[in-house]
Amino acid sequence: MDALPPQLTTRAFTAAEALREGLPRERLRRRDILALGSGVHVARALADVCTPQETLEIKAAALLRDRPEMWVSHHTAAEIHGLWLPDRLQKDGRLHLAHPAGPDVWTRREGVCGHRVSLRRQDVVTRRGLRVATPARTWLDLGRLCTVRELIIIGDQLVRHPYPRFEGRAAPHATLAELRSLLEESPGTPGRRRCLAALTWIRVGADSVPETLLRLALIRAGLPEPQLQVPAQPRFRWSPRADLGYPALKIAIQYDGETHFTPHQQRADQRRDNVFFAEGWRLLRFNQQDHREGFERAVGQVRSALGLG
C-alpha cells in the first residue's frame, strides 16, 4: 500500500489537496483513509485519536485552507465555542461556513451550509489556526434562528464569569457593553431585533441553562426578578453564594444539577447551606425534576416564600 505523504497524516484534507500532493482519487478509497463527508478525508490513524470536537475543527480547516476569505459561523461556531444550542439546531449536522457579503463565491458541497455575512473585522478570530466567528457574533448570527428566550440563554452564557480552573479562561466571552455595541454597529442584520429584545434580559451570574430558565420562569410568573450569585455573608469576599435570591428578604435559591449529587459535592453543598442557615437565610433548592416540570412547582414555592400567595 502506498504510504500517505507526511503532510496528509497530521490534518484532514480535500480530494483536491490529495491530488495536488500526487495522491490519485482511487487512493482515497483505501482502508487507511476515512471520509468525513463534504469531500474531506483524513488518515484513519488520526481520526481514531480525535475527539468529535477536534474532528469538526480539522474538517472545517480542510475546507477553509483554499478559501481564506471564509470562516466558521452559526451552529458550527457555537459548537466550537462550547455554547448551548436548542435541540433542533444541534441536530442540524451541517458544517456552517460564512463569507463576506457580495457575489456568492461558495462552491456547493453536500453537508455544508454557506452564509453571506456583513460583519466587522473584529468579529472573526483565529482559534487553533481556524478562522471562526466570535462567540458574540455567533449569538447575533443565530438571532434569526432562535427565539428570544433561547437568545437570552446563549447571552447569559456569553457574559458569565468563567472558572479558570475548569474552563481554561479567565474572561467572559463578551460583556453586556460589547453585545450592545455589536448590535448598534450591525444594522439590518437578520435576527437583530430579537437579539435587542433578548439583551434587555441577559444577566451576569447564571452558570447554567436551568438557572437562566428558573430566573425567567419567576419573572414570567410576575414575581420580582431575583439577584444572581447572592452571597450568604456580603461583608466577606469569599462568602458562599446562592445561584439566585432575594437578599433583602434573606431568601436564597439553588439549582442543583447532576454534578451536585456526587458524595463529594453533597458534602460541599451541605457546608455551604449551613453558612446560609447560620446567617438566618431561608434556602430553597431545586433540581432536574423541577426543570422537567418547567419550574411550575418551584415558582409556587418561591411565591409562598416571598409571602405573595
Chunked in runs of 10, what are the mean pLDDT values of the chain (309 residues)? 83 90 88 90 93 91 89 95 95 91 65 89 92 98 97 98 87 97 95 98 96 98 98 92 97 86 83 95 96 96 93
Torsion of CA 113, 189, 206, 301, to 10 degrees: -100
* Residue 81 CA, distance from chain mean position: 6
- CB contact at 8 A, 195 and 143: yes
Angle between helix 148-159 and helix 209-220 axes, rounded to 10 deg: 130
- Per-residue model confidence (pLDDT) at position 276: 96
Which residue do the cell numbers 465555542 mark? Answer: 81
Q: Is 128 left (phi over 0), alpha (psi -120 to 50) or beta?
A: left
Question: What's the rounded Cα separation, in Å, for the pair 75 and 87?
Answer: 11
Three cell numbers at 212?
Answer: 437562566
Q: Could you give the domains of the chain?
A: 6-52 (no CATH), 67-199 (no CATH), 209-305 (3.40.960.10)
Question: What's the rounded Cα separation, in Å, for the pair 140 and 174?
Answer: 12
- Per-residue model confidence (pLDDT) at position 24: 86
pLDDT tens for residues 149-208? 999 999 999 999 998 888 888 999 999 999 999 999 999 999 999 999 999 999 999 999
Question: What's the rounded Cα separation, in Å, for the pair 192 and 283?
Answer: 39
243: three-class secondary structure by DSSP = strand
112: three-class secondary structure by DSSP = strand
Q: Specify the DSSP element, H or E, that contains 290.
A: helix 288-292
Q: Specify the DSSP element, H or E, that contains 7.
A: none
- Per-residue model confidence (pLDDT) at position 110: 82
- Per-residue model confidence (pLDDT) at position 198: 98
Comparing CA positions, the residue from 115, 33, 25, 105 lying closest to residue 66 is 105
- Per-residue model confidence (pLDDT) at position 1: 53
- Per-residue model confidence (pLDDT) at position 67: 84
- In the chain, the amino acid numbered 292 is R
Render the burial of 233-265: b for 16+ CB within 10 Å, e for the rest: eeeeeeebbbbbbbeeeebbbbbbeeeeeeeee
- Per-residue model confidence (pLDDT) at position 134: 98
Question: What's the rounded Cα separation, in Å, for the pair 24 and 15?
Answer: 9
Q: Specify the DSSP element, H or E, that contains 98.
A: strand 95-100
Specify the pairing of strand 124-127 against strand 112-117.
unpaired
Q: What is the DSSP string of 117-139?
A: E---GGGEEEETTEEEE-HHHHH
Question: What's the rounded Cα separation, in Å, for the pair 111 and 94?
Answer: 5
230: three-class secondary structure by DSSP = strand
